[in-house]
Structure 1
Amino acid sequence: MKFSDYFIGGSASVGATLFTNPIEVVKTRIQLQGELAAKGTYVEPYKGIGNAFLAIIKNDGFMALQKGLVPALYFQFIINFFRLGIYNSALEYKWMHTKNGDISLPKSLFWGAGGGMIGAYLSSPFYMVKTQLQSMAAKQIAVGYQHKHTSMTSALINVYKTNGIQGLWRGADSTLPRAALGSGAQMATFGVTKEFLRSKDIIVNPIANSFAAGAIAGSVMSLAITPPDVITTRMLNQGVDGNGRGLLYKSTLDCFLKVVRVEGLLSLYKGFWPNYMRIGPHSTLVLLFFDELLYFRNKYFD
């Protein structure tokens, strides 16, 4: 096992996040829009992706599209440090291969999901602050609970002072289904697709092969991750009482049941299109950067 594999995994995601954070801001706002309100009973400040971009720029300024960027970079580095690092270790040691040497889809799902869950739990405080900063908006377009953070550092300090270490990991359990489904689907699809395209001589160029496999993996991931992503956004953005308990949701299950009962089952796919537009490019860039950084490391430093 090479420690550099883990560092490369984290670094690859940082580069991708710089490009995809604006659409993440849009996705977060749309997911919080109409929270616990029946369809047609609330004002929609964000009527689609294009309208959301324009509304944010008009009311909050152009730089608001990069709200939450700093904690997003920390979150992405940590989760992919473990997710991609563990997956690559399992690949190198052939823990996910069948007896005939092929990559096993169930084993790929296991290692992808396992690494994602570890990374998601450890990075949960940064994901929480990222979500809360991204939801902060001018009164005219505000959705969800509005926190009063001034920066990532002040947010982490205030949460710790108010609710202790458990406050920093409030709602962390809600990130696990999101990570398991999203990471498992992405990493399993990526590995199997790469091998299929290469073995069938469809796309053999290393860069093109990684790009195509990453694009397909991102599409599969967006379908799997959106429902738990909505729940995670709601859980982490809600306000808390004096004891650190959520004002709207008692648990991940409680959140799921309330959202479905009040907003309907399809509400679990709120923000699907911005999620798709973010995950596709993000997944492609992360996995492409990861493969290229590994190639550079192996060529010049091994």
Structure 2
Amino acid sequence: MPKSYTGSVATDQALAGFTGGAVSTICLHPLDLIKTRFQVNAAQGAPRIGGTLRSFQQIYKSEGFRHGLYRGLTPNFAGATVSWGLYFYLYAGIKSSMPVDPTTKRLGPTQHMAASMIGGALTAVVTNPFWVIKTRMCTTQKTAPGAYQSLFGGLTSLVRTEGVKGLYRGMIPALFGVSHGAIQFMAYEQLKYWRQEVKEKRWEKQFLEEIHSKATSDSVSMDAKTIEKLRKARLLEKKHDWETLSTIEYLCMAASSKVAATVATYPYQVLRSRLQMMTNPQGEVIYTGVMDCIRKIKRSEGILGFYKGVAPNVIRVLPGTCITFLVYETVSAWCRKHARYGLDEEQRI
């Protein structure tokens, strides 16, 4: 049984993901609100340079800090923490059930992508109601007629007026978005493996140079079997050195993987936000479905219409992802260090 703090590695991962999502959401909610408003604004053209800062200032002046920039924080917080916690729990659990490569003793990129997509799809189904409420709260002022005043009040009103079906507005684009997490985590895991392998190979080189230097200076020769035995013993001692990466390394890999996934999959976020705002203030249906939404955006707003809000989103996801993954890795490491259950493989030998 691997070392864990709670008794389950998957639960440890869920705790780490929950904490990372919570810290990131609280810090960066205003950028999420601005991004969402850009996404649903069909009348406005592609935002100009500096549009994010101007929107920030305008919202702050007209609506205030708490009821303006932080409107919709509760559903966003609930959705983000449940999403990250549940996702990491499922992701870790699914990975643990997969067979590793007998040569590398690791999972391959296809397996990471499969685990991420399955975990992401299940998470999307559970959390979609939170995102519907968050979108509607972020795109309406608190004083607007019919505006949701809270997460619970929004859920109650939504079910009463639109039924259970209303909770799953934008579900199809959300499932498209599973590819976002799959690309992100596949890239993140492979970057981690790549960096660990670089550090391991560097250690192997230093080890061989040390053995050669010692044999030359002491005039003592060692056969291949003795060197291999010594290498394995040192390997167990030093394995932690390259498996544990630095904070900067984690941040660079998290940011790189997130930007790649965001650029590749961003249009689904615009589609999801538009579909979650199914009616205009006059109560008329704007989009009848995903394909209708795609056609109307392309016809009236062009290709750039699918990338509305991408600037505040990139500004948000870079520090957001760095915060989330840094907290996630820190809490994961803390859980391993203070493990109360199980033993590492090398401790059982």
TM-score (norm 1): 0.85
Which has more radius of gyration? 2
Residue 49 of structure 1 is matched in structure 2 by: 52
| 1:55-70 pair list within 5 angstroms | 55-63=58-66, 64-70=68-74
Residue 181 of structure 1 is matched in structure 2 by: 179
Q: Which stretches in structure 1 are left out of the alignment for 5+ residues?
A: none
Q: Distance in 2 between matches of 1:194 and 1:18?
A: 27
Shift of 1:119: 0.8
Which one scores higher on RCO, CA 8 angstroms, separation ≥ 6?
Answer: 2
Change beyond 3 A, Cα 1:278–1:172: same
Q: Match of 2:52, as an amino acid?
A: I
Shift of 1:238: 2.5
CA deviations 1:232-285 (Å, max 9, x no partner) are: 1111122289xxx98111212221222112211121111111111111121222
Q: Match of 1:183, as an amino acid?
A: G
Shift of 1:74: 1.0
CA deviations 1:161-182 (Å, max 9, x no partner) are: 222222222332221112x122
CA deviations 1:178-208 (Å, max 9, x no partner) are: 2x12211211111111111222139863433
Q: Distance in 2 between matches of 1:270 and 1:255?
A: 14
Change beyond 3 A, Cα 1:57–1:165: same
Q: Distance in 1 between matches of 2:102 and 2:134?
A: 40
Residue 267 of structure 1 is matched in structure 2 by: 305
Residue 205 of structure 1 is matched in structure 2 by: 245
Q: Which moved more, 1:280-289 or 1:91-100?
A: 91-100
Contact 1:22 1:66 in 2 (8 A): yes
Change beyond 3 A, Cα 1:95–1:81: farther
Structure 2 counterpart SS, 1:123: helix
Change beyond 3 A, Cα 1:197–1:8: same
Q: Distance in 2 between matches of 1:158 and 1:297?
A: 40
Change beyond 3 A, Cα 1:91–1:206: farther
Q: Match of 2:198, as an amino acid?
A: K
1:26 aligns with 2:24: no
CA deviations 1:55-98 (Å, max 9, x no partner) are: 11111112211111110111112222232222223444555757
Q: Match of 1:148, as an amino acid?
A: A
Contact 2:141 2:147 in 1 (8 A): no
Name the count of aligned residue pairs. Answer: 289
Contact 2:39 2:309 in 1 (8 A): yes
Q: Which stretches in structure 2 are left out of the alignment for 5+ residues?
A: 1-7, 203-241, 341-349
1:286 aligns with 2:324: yes
Q: Distance in 2 between matches of 1:65 and 1:96?
A: 46
Q: Distance in 2 between matches of 1:263 and 1:98?
A: 51
Q: Distance in 1 between matches of 2:15 and 2:22?
A: 11
Q: Which moved more, 1:61-70 or 1:96-105?
A: 96-105
Shift of 1:216: 1.1
Contact 2:18 2:85 in 1 (8 A): yes
CA deviations 1:84-113 (Å, max 9, x no partner) are: 222223444555757533442222222222
Contact 2:99 2:107 in 1 (8 A): no
1:122 aligns with 2:126: yes
User: Cα RMSD (Å) of the superposition?
Assistant: 2.9
Q: Match of 1:194, as an amino acid?
A: K
CA deviations 1:7-47 (Å, max 9, x no partner) are: 332232111111111110110111122x1x4859xxx7996
Equivalent pairs: percent with the same residue?
Answer: 21
Q: Distance in 2 between matches of 1:246 and 1:81?
A: 37
1:152 aligns with 2:192: no
Contact 1:235 1:255 in 2 (8 A): yes
Q: Distance in 1 between matches of 2:292 and 2:278?
A: 13
Residue 256 of structure 2 is matched in structure 1 by: 216
Contact 1:103 1:192 in 2 (8 A): no
Q: Match of 1:104, as an amino acid?
A: G
Change beyond 3 A, Cα 1:61–1:160: same
